[in-house]
Amino acid sequence: MTTSVAIAAYNGARFIEEQLLSIMNQSLKVDEVIICDDGSTDGTPDICRAFIKANGLENWQVFENPVNKGYCLNFLGAIEKCTGDVIFIADQDDRWKSQKVEKMLSCLNENPDVSVLSCRYDVIDGEGKIIENSGIPYLGSVFDGSVEYLSVDSFIGCSYIRGFAMCFKKELKEYLKPIDLKSMLSHDWYICLLGALKGKTAVLNLKLTEYRYHFDNVSLSDMTRKTFLGDRQKRLKGLSESIEGHTYLKDFCTDIKDKKNFEKLIRLEQKRLKFLNNKNFFLWLSLIAYINVYKRYYKSLKGAFRVWIGDFCYGYNINFKK
């Protein structure tokens, strides 16, 4: 199987060369790297081109978007340009362990029914030091090379598999409608759920990537719930995007249970959006009937009530942080 790497870059000068080096030094070389820059002002494209030239990497290419697309559409644009049988997604500021490509391709060969595969990871700080007790929430602490399958239902309304640890088969590309999901979900949720609908989505329980956690992460600043709770317009936009994404993917459902869960979440988010726009107290009160669906946001009843109450605060412009 041929391999491509899709990198979405934006003002990544501080770390991107270290990431490119980790991709270049894989035990099994990749066939192609596509870097799409989203209007950097710090020389990121020049750094990438210099790295490519210095190392004679003929199948590595840099593209510059004429206008800023945002990280989600930038990733989808990079993926569209990839030609490999298997496409790896890479953030600009992480590091790959040397056997990542080799181990993940081997897993795909041994599990041909898997369309999307993620690996486990360590989290590192801005200086490259490992942060203890970090990784994928809701999965165990087993790193023995086993394969864990994830259900369609586990992705409806939530995203906990990160794109930087993923690869997927090129057959999924034709279903990737350019939906901008940056406000609440993202391209990684989109691909994982699509993979589970069209084949299987799985996690390889090996730590093969180092995810850099720092204050400049675009995905962190856009995706963490604390930031999300602090921005009413982002909540409105996020709900609209989520409704669009879930409605599109619902059409791929073959299992009636999955379709019903899609429809239940879509109805909830439509009602939430209507309340936030109309500020009808009784409509908000009726949302308590969906509290178990709200749980998908935080995987806990406490988190469910927090989001439900948060909707009330945003609806009536109540800011307890003042």
| Residue 85 confidence (pLDDT) | 98
Give the domain-ending residue among 198, 221, 244. 221
| Residue 214 confidence (pLDDT) | 64
Specify whether 243 is located in the same domain as 217: no
- With a pLDDT cut of 70, the percent of the chain lying above it is 91
- Whether residue 123 is contained in a domain is answered as yes
Count how many Cα atoms sit within 13 Å of the Cα of residue 164 in the half-sphere of its side chain. Answer: 29
The DSSP bridge pattern shows strands 32-37 and 60-64 to be parallel
How far apart (Å, rounded) are the C-alpha atoms in residues 108 and 101? Answer: 11
Single out the residue of 225, 270, 230, 213 nearest to residue 247, CA to CA: 270
- Looking at the predicted structure, is the pLDDT value of residue 229 above 80? no
Q: Residue 7: which H helix or E strand, with range?
A: strand 3-9
Q: Yes or no: say if 48 and 119 are a contact pair by the CB < 8 Å rule.
A: no
- Looking at the predicted structure, is the pLDDT value of residue 101 above 50? yes
Mean pLDDT for 171-175 is: 95
First-to-final CA distance of the chain = 55
- Looking at the predicted structure, is the pLDDT value of residue 128 above 80? no
Q: Yes or no: say if 274 and 259 are a contact pair by the CB < 8 Å rule.
A: no
Mean pLDDT for 120-132 is: 79
For residue 72, give its domain range: 3-221
- pLDDT-derived band of residue 127, with 50, 70 and 90 as boundaries? confident
CATH number of the domain residue 28 falls in: 3.90.550.10
Specify whether 205 is located in the same domain as 266: no
How far apart (Å, rounded) are the C-alpha atoms in residues 70 and 8? Answer: 9
Q: Yes or no: say if 139 and 83 are a contact pair by the CB < 8 Å rule.
A: no
Specify whether 150 is located in the same domain as 266: no
- Whether residue 235 is contained in a domain is answered as yes
Specify whether 66 is located in the same domain as 88: yes
**Placement of tokens 């869960």 in the chain:** 261
Q: How many domains does the chain have?
A: 2
180-208 tens-digit pLDDT: 998 888 999 999 999 999 999 999 999 99
Specify whether 145 is located in the same domain as 236: no
Specify whether 23 is located in the same domain as 90: yes
User: For residue 109, which amino acid is it?
Assistant: N
What angle do the packed helices 256-278 and 301-315 form, to 10 degrees? 30
Specify whether 59 is located in the same domain as 92: yes
Give the domain-ending residue among 187, 221, 255. 221
Specify whether 180 is located in the same domain as 259: no
- Whether residue 139 is contained in a domain is answered as yes
Q: Yes or no: say if 283 and 270 are a contact pair by the CB < 8 Å rule.
A: no
Give the domain-ending residue among 221, 249, 266. 221
How far from chain centre, in Å, is Cα 261? 21
5-60 tens-digit pLDDT: 999 999 999 999 999 999 999 999 999 999 999 999 999 999 999 999 999 999 99
- With a pLDDT cut of 90, the percent of the chain lying above it is 69
**Placement of tokens 């989290």 in the chain:** 123
- Whether residue 266 is contained in a domain is answered as yes
Mean of all residue pLDDT scores within the chain: 89
Specify whether 294 is located in the same domain as 234: yes
Specify whether 290 is located in the same domain as 176: no
| Residue 65 confidence (pLDDT) | 96
Who's near 276: CB < 8 A, 6+ residues apart?
Answer: 232, 235, 236, 239, 311, 314, 315
pTM: 0.89
Specify whether 216 is located in the same domain as 242: no
Q: 96 pairs with which residues across the strands?
A: 209
- Looking at the predicted structure, is the pLDDT value of residue 217 above 70? no
Specify whether 234 is located in the same domain as 217: no
279-316 tens-digit pLDDT: 999 999 999 999 988 887 777 898 899 889 989 999 88
How far apart (Å, rounded) are the C-alpha atoms in residues 303 and 293? Answer: 11
Single out the residue of 138, 173, 174 nearest to residue 159, CA to CA: 138
